[in-house]
A and B are shown apart, each in its own frame.
Chain A
Amino acid sequence: MHHRIIAGALALATTAALVGCSAASSDEPAPLVLVTHDSFALSDGILDQFTEETGIPVQVQSSGDAGQLVNTLVLTKDSPLGDVVFGIDNTFASRAVENGVLADYASGDLTSAEDQYLLPEGQGREQLTPIDNGDVCVNVDHEWFAEKGISEPTGLDDLVEPEYKDLLVVEAANSSSPGLAFLLATIAAYGEDGWQDYWTRLIANGTKVAAGWSDAYYVDFSGPSSEGDRPIVVSYASSPPFEVPEGATEAPTGALLDTCFRQTEYAGVIAGTKNEAGAQKLVDFLFSTTVQNDIPEAMYVYPVNAKATLPESFTKFAAIADDPFVVSPADIDANRETWLTEWAAIAQP
């Protein structure tokens, strides 16, 4: 028995060492590795269409959230994890660009209709192609307000009013991506010197700070699929469609479109790829209507390609802000740590 154990341990150690080697030796072209975050999803067969068109298989490798994704790319710069990255958003774009992890390439299929999504010159316009976008907005529970006979808040200013005391739940800006987006919305709304005062009043008005989105939405929010008693929550503009019961004509919750911060996600070619031409084709493919039409149902966000078509659930119940709050990627990158430290001192004393 002892022999077997030692032999077994050795066999395992050898297998572990050999797996890497054996995987590389086959005849078909080396696959392109698409590095992305763990919310990435496309319907079955979509990526296969790329392989049919180009003959190159695609392998997906995911790594944490958007922030972790960019940091992973920075850390593995000398030995890149893959060929193409998808999922760098406007809050982390500067870091990726400044650390030189991306090769210069933006899809040639972009038209002026997508200009609104492009990053500023020198801050990612040359390296990143916009793929999708979504708004983080304050959501309200229509049924709760109707039942209590209280009028719903309409903007950020209302949230510090006494009539909305103890009704709002937000995500922590330092551990949640919608939480950070909401903080950025308030920074854009009240200025770099004014947001601290707004947050002090927000916290004094009984705002609850939850660690993450699922926690805030499912535990504290009062919406139909939630358990909580707070009728106002920071969530996505695309959340209300998912609360609509089968066959209903009105959504029980809604997004306040004057409170939104827009997150745009980008794709780019990773510097150091061994197949630059293939990587560029994959970026083009992500921007093509094949992928763009699939994005709303697969990832709950809006495609950026003006030629893409939206599914009924989106056209009927989802809304998108006309004029979302904006903070430039460079500002975000320069101030992220200061803002989050100041925010923590106010919201998590």
Chain B
Amino acid sequence: MTRARTSPGIVIATVLGVAVPVAFLAVFFAWPVAAMVGRGFADGLGGFGEVFSRPRTIRLIGFTLGQAALASGICVVLGLPVAHVLYRLRFRGRGLLRALVILPFVLPTVVVGVAFRTLLRDTPLDGTFAAILLALVFFNVAVVVRTVGSAWEGLDPRQEDAARVLGASPARVFATITLPRLGPSIAAASSIVFLFCATAFGVVLVLGGTKFGTIETEIYLLTTQFLDLRAASVLSVTQLVIVVALLAVVGRVRGSTQRRVTAARRPRRTDAPAIAAAALITAALAVPVLALVERSLRTSTGYGFDNFALLSGTGSRNALVVPVWVALGNSLGTAVQATVLAVGIGLVASLVLSRSPRSLLARRALGALDGALLLPLGISAVTVGFGFLITLNQPPFDLRSSPILVPIAQALVALPLVVRTVLPVLKSIDPRLRESAAVLGATPWRVLRDVDLSIVARPVLAASGFAFAVALGEFGATSFLARPDRPTLPVVIYRLIGLPGGDNFGMAIAASVVLAVVTVAVIALVERLRVDTVGAF
């Protein structure tokens, strides 16, 4: 076997490839969180015994795990048929539908909370555990559809075709051939959904009040209301332990898939159940969205675009510092920066992580980095936000009042999504492909460009769209860090909905619709780009 000469360039690139993501996480995640948790343990670790002896703590942990496990299970069950239809079949309007499915994921939680409560108010579900589950599923189904769909799209259909020809029923084909091959992406998607649900904050608070407290809402209460840093730190560490344990379990399940890029096919009769299920699920997802659209068009005299016309102003009695359109501009600018950061760092990290070095130590180190990239999803935004304030106050990281902090915080949330979309594809590249390229005389750079990067180009585009959408809708960290004179759209929506006054509520809903439309447009555009690049393969 011919091995490529290890040139100094490769060594430097590899070192940088590890150093950039590690440095980013260390400065903007590990350091702030450690500093914040450290404050709580200033008087020693006695807090653990005391906090764990409170019955409330045990209940909170149980509830957090229970709702996250249930919600991610439901998301997988509902997401699979939709992923099949949207990524495996070819039909008109598919790109638009793909973009629409992601919509719930980017709506501001405060708006979805109010929309759900309006819908559920007169039903027995109002204020129940089921209402919270419904909303969590509404938010996160998109994660399963996108992550599993991207992997499904690239599965070689010939194995399924062969089984079908040999007489296996569609259910059997799915259970014995398709499902095992989708395993890694399902594991990746459900772990992300689990983390999102376990740290869900706004939805839980609006729909369940503090009655259904989670570890996350409790950390918020303890930190912002009671200043009980000791208990907050105990819970932060607990949250960290749970997340790390979960990631370890998921890491065992993950394997590698063989990947071949294939064109989707036309729908067949056997797809009918999946299509029916997908149609039903999509319709259910549309209900809260349609309710929002309906409300945005409602005026004092009937229906019209009055609420949208008002968006060029600053709201009743000057509720806002800037017109809503300016806030939209801020949002777009910030989201672009966050996307560049997240995709740049995420791609570099994925390229490094996709290699399997021969040294056991190096493999372990890569495994640790892999898990560390997911951690920002599992740690309370309150802990990270306060952590920023107490650490990033010295040069060269004197960033507390800098506008760059907002895209950095958003990138932190988007980064795991980028890695989880790109990495499975890179890992599934047959190493023999690289080896043969090398044998045929390609330099390592050329192998990277023509093998890795060309195969991963489409997932990277998908990840960019996703990262952009997440950054656009991010509220928790942004509200903490955004400068008041440069508010983003979700911050403006939150402010409008929080102030009385005839027009403000309608404007908030109209602004949410605008946010949704812009997101769908951007994602649909990315989907188009993907289609156009097919010719390059």
Q: Say whether, besides A1-B449, A2-B448, A33-B401, A297 and B396 are in contact (CB < 8 Å).
A: no
Least CB separation from B36: chain A residue: A75
Q: Is the CB of B17 within 8 A of A6?
A: yes
Alpha-carbon gap, A349 to B212, bound state (A): 10
Alpha-carbon gap, A6 to B20, bound state (A): 9
Alpha-carbon gap, A338 to B33, bound state (A): 28
Q: Which of A65, A220, A245, A348 contacts B224 (CB 8 A)?
A: A65
Q: Is the CB of B396 within 8 A of A20?
A: yes
Q: Is the CB of B344 within 8 A of A76?
A: no
Q: For B400, what are the chain A residues with a Cβ–Cβ distance below 8 Å?
A: 81
Q: Is the CB of B113 within 8 A of A215?
A: yes
4 tightest A-B CB contacts, nearest first:
A20-B398, A348-B211, A68-B224, A242-B501
A100-130 Cβ-contact flags toward B at 8 Å (1 or 0): 0000000000000000000000000000000
From A67, A74, A243, A297, name the one whose CB has the most chain B CB atoms within 10 angstroms.
Answer: A67
Report the stretch among A55-63, A142-150, A256-264 that lies at the interface: A55-63
Q: Is the CB of B114 within 8 A of A9?
A: no
Alpha-carbon gap, A297 to B118, bound state (A): 29
Alpha-carbon gap, A12 to B20, bound state (A): 10
Q: For B118, what are the chain A residues with a Cβ–Cβ distance below 8 Å?
A: 219, 227
Q: For B225, what are the chain A residues with a Cβ–Cβ distance below 8 Å?
A: 67, 174, 336, 340
In the complex, how many angstroms separate the beta carbon of B281 from the nearest chain A beta carbon? Answer: 26
Q: For B52, what are the chain A residues with a Cβ–Cβ distance below 8 Å?
A: none
Q: Is the CB of A175 within 8 A of B39?
A: no
Q: What is A's interface to B at a CB cutoff of 8 Å?
A: 1-3, 5-6, 8-10, 12-13, 15-21, 23-24, 33, 36, 38-41, 43, 59-65, 67-68, 71-72, 74-76, 79, 81, 95, 172, 174-175, 209-215, 217-220, 224-225, 227-228, 235-236, 238-239, 242-243, 245, 297-298, 300, 313, 336-337, 340, 344, 348-349
Give residues of chain B (376-408) contacting chain A, Cβ–Cβ below 8 Å: 386, 389-390, 393-404, 408
Q: Is the CB of B209 within 8 A of A297?
A: no
Q: Is the CB of B317 within 8 A of A300?
A: yes
Q: For A211, what are the chain B residues with a Cβ–Cβ distance below 8 Å?
A: 113, 205-210
Alpha-carbon gap, A235 to B17, bound state (A): 54
Least CB separation from B222: chain A residue: A337
Q: For B45, what are the chain A residues with a Cβ–Cβ distance below 8 Å?
A: none
Give 12 CB contacts A-B under 8 Å.
A5-B344, A10-B20, A12-B341, A15-B404, A16-B408, A17-B397, A38-B495, A41-B318, A61-B401, A74-B227, A215-B117, A242-B502
Q: Is the CB of A8 within 8 A of B396?
A: no
Instruction: Report if B480 contacts A (CB, 8 A).
Output: yes
Q: Is the CB of A13 within 8 A of B347?
A: no
Least CB separation from B481: chain A residue: A63
Q: For A23, what are the chain B residues with a Cβ–Cβ distance below 8 Å?
A: 401-402
Q: Is the CB of B484 within 8 A of A64?
A: no
Instruction: Report if B121 contacts A (CB, 8 A).
Output: yes
Alpha-carbon gap, A62 to B482, bound state (A): 8
Alpha-carbon gap, A244 to B188, bound state (A): 53
From A2, A59, A220, name the one whose CB has the most chain B CB atoms within 10 angstroms.
Answer: A2
Q: Is the CB of B390 within 8 A of A60?
A: no
Q: Is the CB of A239 within 8 A of B500?
A: yes
Instruction: Report if B499 contacts A (CB, 8 A).
Output: yes
Q: Is the CB of B479 within 8 A of A64?
A: yes
In the complex, how many angstroms separate the beta carbon of A325 from the nearest chain B beta carbon? Answer: 21
Q: Is the CB of A348 within 8 A of B453?
A: no
Q: Say whether, besides A2-B448, A68-B224, A210 and B401 are in contact (CB < 8 Å).
A: no
Q: For A9, what are the chain B residues with a Cβ–Cβ distance below 8 Å?
A: 20, 344-345, 348
Q: Say whether, besides A76-B390, A225-B505, A172 and B226 are in contact (CB < 8 Å).
A: no
Q: Say whether, besides A20-B395, A67-B225, A225-B500, A6 and B206 are in contact (CB < 8 Å).
A: no
Q: Is the CB of A8 within 8 A of B389?
A: no
In the complex, how many angstroms separate the beta carbon of A162 from the nearest chain B beta carbon? Answer: 23
Q: For B340, what are the chain A residues with a Cβ–Cβ distance below 8 Å?
A: 8, 12
Instruction: Report if B445 contacts A (CB, 8 A).
Output: yes
Q: For A297, what are the chain B residues with a Cβ–Cβ distance below 8 Å?
A: 317-318
Alpha-carbon gap, A79 to B389, bound state (A): 9
Least CB separation from A226: chain B residue: B505
Q: Is the CB of A214 within 8 A of B114?
A: yes
Q: For A43, what are the chain B residues with a Cβ–Cβ distance below 8 Å?
A: 318
Instruction: Report if B483 contacts A (CB, 8 A).
Output: yes
Instruction: Report if B485 contacts A (CB, 8 A).
Output: yes
In the complex, how many angstroms separate the beta carbon of A285 from the nearest chain B beta carbon? Answer: 18
Instruction: Report if B145 contacts A (CB, 8 A).
Output: no
Q: For A63, what are the chain B residues with a Cβ–Cβ distance below 8 Å?
A: 389, 480
Q: Is the CB of B344 within 8 A of A8?
A: yes
Q: For A75, what are the chain B residues with a Cβ–Cβ distance below 8 Å?
A: 39, 386, 389-390
Give residues of chain B (10-66) contacting chain A, Cβ–Cβ below 8 Å: 13, 16-17, 20, 23-24, 39
Q: For A209, what are the chain B residues with a Cβ–Cβ distance below 8 Å?
A: 209
Least CB separation from A80: chain B residue: B393
Least CB separation from B220: chain A residue: A175
Q: For A245, what are the chain B residues with a Cβ–Cβ distance below 8 Å?
A: 300, 502
Alpha-carbon gap, A221 to B224, bound state (A): 28
Q: Is the CB of B341 within 8 A of A348?
A: no
Q: What is B's interface to A at a CB cutoff of 8 Å?
A: 13, 16-17, 20, 23-24, 39, 110, 113-114, 117-118, 121, 205-211, 217, 221, 223-228, 300, 316-321, 340-341, 344-345, 347-348, 351, 386, 389-390, 393-404, 408, 445, 448-449, 453, 479-480, 483-485, 491, 495, 497-502, 505
Q: For A175, what are the chain B residues with a Cβ–Cβ distance below 8 Å?
A: 205, 209-210, 217, 221
Q: For B484, what are the chain A residues with a Cβ–Cβ distance below 8 Å?
A: 36, 38, 40, 60-62
Q: Is the CB of B395 within 8 A of A13?
A: no
Least CB separation from A228: chain B residue: B121
In the complex, how many angstroms separate the beta carbon of A5 from the nearest chain B beta carbon? Answer: 6
Q: Is the CB of B497 within 8 A of A19?
A: no
Alpha-carbon gap, A19 to B318, bound state (A): 32
Q: Is the CB of B398 within 8 A of A21?
A: yes
Least CB separation from A70: chain B residue: B227
Least CB separation from B401: chain A residue: A61
Alpha-carbon gap, A8 to B347, bound state (A): 12
Alpha-carbon gap, A23 to B344, bound state (A): 25
Q: Is the CB of A336 within 8 A of B24?
A: no
Least CB separation from B9: chain A residue: A3
Q: For B479, what are the chain A residues with a Cβ–Cβ distance below 8 Å?
A: 38, 64
Alpha-carbon gap, A2 to B209, bound state (A): 48
Q: Is the CB of A348 within 8 A of B345?
A: no
Q: Which of A6, A61, A214, A239 contacts B498 (CB 8 A)?
A: A214
Q: Is the CB of B23 within 8 A of A2?
A: no
Least CB separation from A348: chain B residue: B211
Least CB separation from A209: chain B residue: B209
Q: Which of A13, A38, A340 contacts B20 (CB 8 A)?
A: A13
Q: Is the CB of A243 within 8 A of B502?
A: yes
Q: For B386, what are the chain A residues with a Cβ–Cβ distance below 8 Å?
A: 71-72, 75
Q: Is the CB of B500 within 8 A of A242?
A: yes
In the complex, how many angstroms separate the beta carbon of A17 from the nearest chain B beta carbon? Answer: 4
Least CB separation from A71: chain B residue: B227
Q: For A12, what are the chain B residues with a Cβ–Cβ distance below 8 Å?
A: 340-341, 344
Q: For A64, what are the chain B residues with a Cβ–Cβ distance below 8 Å?
A: 224, 479-480
Q: For A336, what are the chain B residues with a Cβ–Cβ distance below 8 Å?
A: 225-226
Q: For B480, what are the chain A residues with a Cβ–Cβ distance below 8 Å?
A: 63-64
Q: For B351, what are the chain A residues with a Cβ–Cβ distance below 8 Å?
A: 2
Q: Which of A10, A16, A215, A239 contacts B114 (CB 8 A)?
A: A215
Q: Which of B16, B24, B500 contacts A300 (CB 8 A)?
A: B500
Given A1-B453, A10-B16, A211-B206, 12 additional A-B pairs, CB 8 A: A16-B408, A19-B404, A20-B396, A40-B484, A67-B225, A75-B386, A81-B401, A172-B210, A175-B209, A210-B209, A242-B500, A336-B226
Q: For B226, what are the chain A residues with a Cβ–Cβ distance below 8 Å?
A: 336-337, 340
In the complex, how many angstroms separate the beta carbon of A121 from the nearest chain B beta carbon? Answer: 24
Q: Is the CB of B483 within 8 A of A67?
A: no
